[in-house]
């Protein structure tokens, strides 16, 4: 144990770098959790859209939504979703949440599941993943 303490003291810069790296890894892992909902890949989302016709909720700001969104997506900003917008409760079809990068969808999806929504999904990677996959967007109202 004395050898470890001496090493840490003698190489304090290296030791502090290791501590920062470990804290960063832990922080990334905590923030990347999916909060108990299923995060779908873009291709799985398209499959779900074709098979089950989910309610698609675009949680991005209205200005982002009007620039381009998934066909059929409703624009419901995150605050309204978190306050359990009436259109989301008592849905018989799955709810698919889309945000910019996928993190907010996971958090809000957990809130909806707690409120009793049965099938809630998030798009892994959000609209960025949708654009990177080269899939179409529309500017018409959902």
Domain locations in the chain as residue ranges = 2-31, 38-132
CATH fold of 38-132 reads: Oxidized Rhodanese; domain 1 (3.40.250)
pLDDT at site 104: 85
pLDDT at site 85: 72
Q: CA end-to-end span of the chain, whole Å?
A: 64
pLDDT at site 117: 85
Q: How far is CA 91 from the centre of its chain?
A: 20
pLDDT at site 34: 62
pLDDT at site 33: 62
Which residues does 25 contact at the CB level (< 8 Å), separation at least 6? none
The one-digit pLDDT tens for each residue of the chain (142 residues) are 889 888 888 999 998 999 999 998 887 776 656 677 888 999 999 999 999 999 999 999 999 999 999 999 999 887 777 777 777 777 788 999 999 988 788 888 888 888 888 899 999 999 999 999 999 999 877 5
The SS3 assignment for 95 reads strand
Q: Which secondary structure element, helix H or strand E, spans residue 116, and what is its range?
A: none
């Amino acid at each position: 144990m004395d050898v470890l303490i001496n090493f840490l003291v003698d190489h304090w810069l290296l030791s502090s770098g290791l501590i920062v790296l470990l804290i960063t890894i832990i922080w990334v892992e905590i923030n990347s959790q999916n909060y108990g909902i299923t995060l779908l890949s873009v291709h799985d989302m398209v499959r779900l859209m074709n098979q089950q016709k989910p309610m698609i909720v675009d949680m991005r700001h209205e200005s982002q939504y009007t620039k381009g969104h998934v066909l059929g997506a409703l624009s419901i900003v995150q605050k309204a979703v978190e306050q359990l917008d009436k259109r989301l409760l008592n849905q018989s079809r799955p709810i698919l949440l889309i945000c910019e990068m996928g993190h907010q969808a996971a958090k809000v999806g957990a809130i909806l599941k707690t409120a009793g929504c049965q099938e809630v999904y998030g798009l892994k990677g959000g609209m960025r993943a949708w654009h990177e996959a080269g899939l179409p967007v529309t500017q018409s109202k959902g």
